[in-house]
């Protein structure tokens, strides 16, 4: 008995010592973070150039930090929230302490075309205020050049290149792999153009999908060219793209000089030359190193210009794939978004709602959960206005039907009114390794879906009927919201994807405009004015522990941009990594995706793929390699 007491006492002392140690570690870590922040802030000049080293993509809602990635540094470049970038740039336009805005785009991860246009409009405001906007990169792609075109001066490294290629390219089709593995993909769909399932059922595009994608790419590309033409009329972008090799030969094979000759860039120079030029405008840095200038970093500036919270128009964001249940930021969990909508409704000060949608869709059930929450808000008398971002397709359009008005941009990708389900079964794959199945059934549906023995015809018929039923409900929702007949919705639906310009002609959206226009319309409907007519954002709560860990993530810009593409082949290598990410996520969707989906797989090619999470890297890529070994 005495021995048991001694053992218990030792355990209690050990627990106490561990808790004290954890407390001390936490205390000193917090002290370190505070001192680090204070020292960092003290080192920033009070005036100079607002410096945006965009070493990741601009997105509607950055994904949540991953604890493992914070500890190991495996998370890849960060993501920048669109409204934060816009807020900082527009604040700089009116800030007397900011003499210029500088964009370092060497590590830029891109963004949707609507997002690029919005940042470009903010840069235009800086120039209209009489302040220069300067940008530099070693390589400009479609997205980064769209920002650069709005600058007063565009610099390119002497070894650099403007590598604009336009939207489009090859998609991924897995039918050959699925057949070789012996997996059967059972597909249930409605919609002639519902091509989201084609990667699992075909080796290439169907004629219907090709026609729809060609029209979409043409519309998006035309809008890109129009934006560049207005922002930088002297740039001979069409000539440059018509025959880049001829222009290259005329400039002795020098890619940088070819871009300069076509008026795409203004000056060639390395970072030191560029920095010295900026210093002549905004002042030199205190360290007096060559090429340094008085720079106010984006993060520091953003902290000083916090987002207003006094508005009475609640704004909830649906960003990323729509999934069932709860989900962290960067994914749109049906329950999570519905709860945010109800949080906004619970605030007496909130008099109207704006739903900002930037999603290709996903789960039909989760989309309906979000729509029902919006419908509840409307039933309580709150005006609801939808603002579509880069993509608001399929499930993203489903949630938009519960609104009084829909705003979109000409480059918004929307529509994809269709439903599908996909279910793999493995009877042939198991038979290859000598595993078979057998059993008895009380009814034809007993044990169904039988993914190891083969799905029965009865289950297939029932699943198809279920998908058709949900498609009928989708059609009914759109018909009621857009005041069309179900037959007309079916004609323009069928899973087809539309650019915003055509969507407006088809009356799928009401007006052109951004989130600010949607907020103004919601405020007008709620009879709000002054500060009350402003937005109040309801965002997912960030995990305090992960947020704390994030303070210790590396802030070394050189480290984050070391792998940034600086030539054509480096850019191609980054594209390969993004394709690998899509392969892993598409195959994961085959197994883990919701049963019935209102999803637009082809829409994902028009937004940044983002980095692969450590779990994806460790799990799915290994599973893919194991599955294909020996084939």
- Which residues does the annotation mark as catalytic? 194, 394
Q: Cβ–Cβ contacts within 10 Å for residue 567, how many?
A: 16
Q: Which two tokens stand for residue 178?
A: 């699925």
- Long-range contacts, 264-267 (Cβ 8 Å, 24+): 264/140, 264/145, 264/154, 264/162, 264/232, 264/235, 264/236, 264/237, 264/240, 265/140, 265/148, 265/154, 265/155, 265/156, 265/162, 266/153, 266/154, 266/155, 267/153, 267/154, 267/155, 267/156
Burial of 554 (0-12, 13-18, 19+ CB in 10 A): exposed
Under 8 Å between Cβ of 380 and 350: no
Is it true that the peptide bond before 275 is cis, omega within 30 degrees of 0? no
Please state at what angle helix 82-94 crosses helix 113-128, rounded to 10 degrees: 10
Q: Which two tokens stand for residue 311?
A: 């508005």
Under 8 Å between Cβ of 262 and 240: yes
3-state secondary structure of 608: coil
The region, left, alpha or beta by phi > 0 then psi within -120 to 50, assigned to residue 100 is: beta
DSSP bridge pairs for 406:
386
Residue the block writes with tokens 């033409």: 229
Which candidate, 575, 565, 631, 561, places its Cα nearest to that of 608? 575
Which candidate, 564, 568, 570, places its Cα nearest to that of 255? 568
Under 8 Å between Cβ of 121 and 87: no
Beta strand residue intervals within 76-164, DSSP E? 80-81, 98-104, 133-140, 153-162
Q: How many CA atoms lie less than 13 Å away from 100 in the CB half-sphere?
A: 22
Distance CA 524, CA 519 (A): 9
Under 8 Å between Cβ of 341 and 373: yes
Going by DSSP bridges, is the β-strand pair 535-538/313-319 parallel, antiparallel, or unpaired? parallel
Under 8 Å between Cβ of 153 and 132: yes
DSSP bridge pairs for 293:
284
Angle, CA of 191, 374 and 592, to the nearest 5°: 50
């Amino acid at each position: 008995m005495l021995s048991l007491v001694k053992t218990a006492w030792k355990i209690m002392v050990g627990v106490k010592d561990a808790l004290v140690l954890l407390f001390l570690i936490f205390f000193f870590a917090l002290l370190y973070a505070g001192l680090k922040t204070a020292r960092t802030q003290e080192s920033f000049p009070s005036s100079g150039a607002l410096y945006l080293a965009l070493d990741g993509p601009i997105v509607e809602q950055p994904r949540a930090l991953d604890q493992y990635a914070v500890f190991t540094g495996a998370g890849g470049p960060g993501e920048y929230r669109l409204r934060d970038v816009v807020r900082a740039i527009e604040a700089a336009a009116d800030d007397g302490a900011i003499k210029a805005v500088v964009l370092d785009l060497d590590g830029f991860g891109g963004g949707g075309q609507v997002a690029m246009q919005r940042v470009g409009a903010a840069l235009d405001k800086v120039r209209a205020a009489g302040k220069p906007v300067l940008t530099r990169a070693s390589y400009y792609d479609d997205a980064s050049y769209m920002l650069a075109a709005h600058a007063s001066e565009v610099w390119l490294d002497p070894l650099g290149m403007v590598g604009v290629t336009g939207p489009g390219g090859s998609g991924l089709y897995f039918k050959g792999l699925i057949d070789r593995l012996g997996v059967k993909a059972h597909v249930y769909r409605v919609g002639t153009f519902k091509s989201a399932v084609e990667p699992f059922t075909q080796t290439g595009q169907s004629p219907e999908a090709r026609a729809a994608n060609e029209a979409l790419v043409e519309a998006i590309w035309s809008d890109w060219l129009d934006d560049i033409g207005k922002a930088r009329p002297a740039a001979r972008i069409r000539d440059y793209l018509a025959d880049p090799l001829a222009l290259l030969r005329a400039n002795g094979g020098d890619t940088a000089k070819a871009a300069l000759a076509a008026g795409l860039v203004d000056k060639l120079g390395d970072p030191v030359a560029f920095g010295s030029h900026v210093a002549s405008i905004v002042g030199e840095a205190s360290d007096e190193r060559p090429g340094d200038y008085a720079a106010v970093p984006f993060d520091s500036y953003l902290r000083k210009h916090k987002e207003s919270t006094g508005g009475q128009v609640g704004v909830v964001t649906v960003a990323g794939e729509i999934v069932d249940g709860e989900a962290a930021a960067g994914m749109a969990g049906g329950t999570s978004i519905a709860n945010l909508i109800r949080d906004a409704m619970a605030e007496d000060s909130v008099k109207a709602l704006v739903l900002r949608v930037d999603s290709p869709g996903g789960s039909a059930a989760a989309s309906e959960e979000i729509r029902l929450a919006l419908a509840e808000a409307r039933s309580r008398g709150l005006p609801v206005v939808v603002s579509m971002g880069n993509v608001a397709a399929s499930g993203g359009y489903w949630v938009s039907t519960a609104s009084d008005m829909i705003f979109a941009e000409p480059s918004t990708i929307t529509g994809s009114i269709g439903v599908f389900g996909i279910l793999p079964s493995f009877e042939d794959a198991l038979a290859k390794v000598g595993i078979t199945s057998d059993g008895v059934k009380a009814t034809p549906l007993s044990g169904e879906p039988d993914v190891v023995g083969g799905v029965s015809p009865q289950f297939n018929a029932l699943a198809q009927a279920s998908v058709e039923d949900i498609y009928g409900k989708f059609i009914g929702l759109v018909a009621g919201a857009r005041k069309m007949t179900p037959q007309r919705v079916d004609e323009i639906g069928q899973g087809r994807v539309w650019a915003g310009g055509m969507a407006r002609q088809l009356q799928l959206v009401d007006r052109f405009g951004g989130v600010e226009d949607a907020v103004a319309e919601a405020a007008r409907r709620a009879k709000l004015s002054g500060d009350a007519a402003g937005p109040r954002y309801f965002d997912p709560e960030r995990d305090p522990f992960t947020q704390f860990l994030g303070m210790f993530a590396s802030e070394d810009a050189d480290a984050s941009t070391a792998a940034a593409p600086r030539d054509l082949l480096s850019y191609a290598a980054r594209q390969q990594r993004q394709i690998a990410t899509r392969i892993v996520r598409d195959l994961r969707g085959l197994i883990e995706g919701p049963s019935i989906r209102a999803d637009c797989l082809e829409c994902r090619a028009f937004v940044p793929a983002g980095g692969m999470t450590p779990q994806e890297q460790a799990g799915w890529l290994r599973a893919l390699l194991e599955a294909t070994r020996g084939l």
